[in-house]
Each structure stands twice: as structure tokens, then as C-alpha cells.
Amino acid sequence: MIEHGGNIYRVAKILNKDLSCILDFSANINPLGFPQGLREYLSSCIDAIIHYPDSEYNELRNAIAGYIGARAENILVGNGAIDIISLCTQTVEADSVLIPIPTFSEYARIARINGLKVEYFHTGEEFILNVEDIVKEIKQNRYGMLILCNPNNPTGRLIDVNSLRCLLDEALKLSVFVMIDEAFIEFIEDYPESSVVRFINFYPNLCVVRCFTKFFGLPGLRLGYGVASMDFINKMKERALPWSVNVLADLGGRYVLKDQVFMEKTREVVSLERTFLMRKLSNLKWIFLYPSQANFVLGKSNTDVSILEKHLLEHGILIRNCGNFDGLDKHYIRLAVRDHRSNLKLIEALKSLQ
């Protein structure tokens, strides 16, 4: 089984097909791709690779600060969100972490690598995180750290910002550090109201993780950032490797943050296509789709997903088998919301399974 979505190279090799012949619904990337003009811009900047990046990434951090409404001093950039997640986990003074599941498996793996004891909190059959239950759990067991993904991967569930603020209040009283991964938050229709970035100056126990991977369609560029108190950012810097962000990622990140039209169009398209995809797939009697506010949907099949995987691969379609998510089993799949033409092909391929 593929451990993460997006392993299209492996699948192409197995099927002996070119990458362009495979529709990848396993990776939750912007269906519009990356902003127009970026290809030409980066080509024009190619000579920049003869220099080291700015070790402080001042212009990039200033661009991000303007985009999210924070100060550059509260931002640390890294080699994708995974780099920031690792640095945050290394920096937190804790010996245990609580992780609601199902969620992104790398949280637990990175925590264990850094010596933390991992405990899971099951969110129930509907995968709805009840803040009161989480507060009760951390009060009883005194975890040093709590990791949340909002909206959550793979469920697409969003915790509303008022509930998160109540949770942060309680976590602060209990000296529990909270890391919130907002990799998919920009797809939410009421963004930025749904984000907790604006709370960082009120909660020294908060670190928000963001990336350019999903929303800006740049998984291969590897660019992420953390937002936290200046004190915590400085502590993470002490553990960060120098020049972790390459010159082209630095320049590309600054470029895409200027494209407001792309951002608005993305939220419009994702909302329309998610609604379309869920409406059409709800007609299939053998699969149940969970409500989602992200650019992907979680489904539960009444058959073994490996059969479904094989059938779709015959149609050149790759999906995410969720059997290796803690809290899920072989009946769950995750489907990215793609462009309309691709979504139609997926729907027809799924219908042919009946």
C-alpha cells in the first residue's frame, strides 16, 4: 500500500504508463495547478541559483507576513510543512503528545523520532472533534503537547475558530503546547476568518503550520512556514538547518502570494466541484461520503478498497487508500477534488464498478 497520497511515480512505473496518463486523486492539490505566470517567472530567475539564499529569508517572510497579517518576526520558513512540524516537535518542552485520529500519520512518526510518547484520541464514527472532550482528556492525563489538523486530513472536518479559542484558553492554563496544521485552511470559503493565525500573540503555547503545497499547487517546490510567538520562533531557529529553502522556492513563494485572483478562483472552483462530486457520488449505494469543507472528501465503501483501487487503476485513476490511517480501516478512501473534466471521469469509472 502507498503510505501517502501523491506517489504517482511508483504507480506509473507499475502500470508502465507516462505520468500524464494517470489522474491522481490521491494528492489533495489545487485543481487549478499553480498560478499563471510562475513558470515564466522562475525561468527568468534561473541565474539566481548561483547564489546562496538569504539565510534570514527577509523578503519571503515579509511577503508571508503581509499575506497572513502577522509580523515577520513571528514567522519561520522551512522545507515544506513537514520541516516546520519537525522543528516544532523538537522545540516543545514536552514528553508526551495527544493526537486526535484519524489524521496525518507523520505527526506521530515525527513525535516518536523526537522522543515523545504518542497517545491517540479517537474522534468517533462521525470524526467530529468535540473540544470539551479534548479538554477533559488533557486535564486528566496532562499531556505536554496537542497536535491538530484543521481542516483535518483525511476527514475534511473543520473545527470552528471560536471552539479553538476556548481550547487554546484551557491549554494555556494547563501549560499544554498546541500545534495546529493549517495546510488546507486557505480552501475554506470564509478564509481567513477560519484561521487561528491572528491568535499567536495571545497564546505563547501556539504554533500554526502552513505550506504552499496544497493551495498554491507547489508540492515539488517544498515551501512551508510556522507562525508563533517570537520567543518560540527563535527557539525553533536554533534547531533549523541553514538554507533549508532554496532560492527558487523563495522567489516562487513571494510571487504566488501576490495573485489574489488565483486565490479567489481556487475557493470558487473547489466549492463548486466538491458539491458536484459529492452530489454525484451520493447516488452510489455502496459508498458513504462524509461532509467536508476541504478540497477532498472521505468515503467509506462497503467493499474492500483494494478492489476499488485495482478497478480505478485500470482506468488510469489513482485514489488514496486510507487503510493505513490510525482509526480507519480497509473500507475508507480519500478523493481529491479536481477539475470538472477529471471529476467526471472519476464518477464514470466508479459507476462502472456497480
pLDDT the model gives residue 354: 61
Radius of gyration of the chain (CA): 20
Which ranges in the chain belong to alpha helices (H)? 8-15, 38-44, 58-68, 81-91, 106-113, 131-141, 161-173, 230-237, 247-256, 260-281, 305-314, 340-351
Q: Does domain 8-34+260-351 have CATH number 2.40.50.100?
A: no
pLDDT, one tens digit per residue, over 288-331 is 999 999 999 999 999 888 889 889 988 999 999 999 999 999 99
Using the structure block, give the residue that is written with the C-alpha cell 466508479: 350
pLDDT, one tens digit per residue, over 116-142 is 999 999 999 999 999 999 999 999 998
pLDDT the model gives residue 9: 73
Domain segments of the chain: what residues?
8-34+260-351, 38-256
pLDDT the model gives residue 1: 39
Pick the CATH number of 38-256 from 3.40.50.2300, 3.40.640.10, 3.20.20.140, 3.40.50.620: 3.40.640.10
pTM of the model: 0.95
Residue stretches of the chain with pLDDT short of 50: 1-2
pLDDT the model gives residue 25: 96
pLDDT the model gives residue 2: 40
pLDDT the model gives residue 4: 65
pLDDT the model gives residue 134: 96
pLDDT the model gives residue 22: 85
In whole angstroms, what is the distance from residue 7 CA to residue 290 CA? Answer: 24
CA nearest to 53, candidates 190, 235, 252, 207: 252
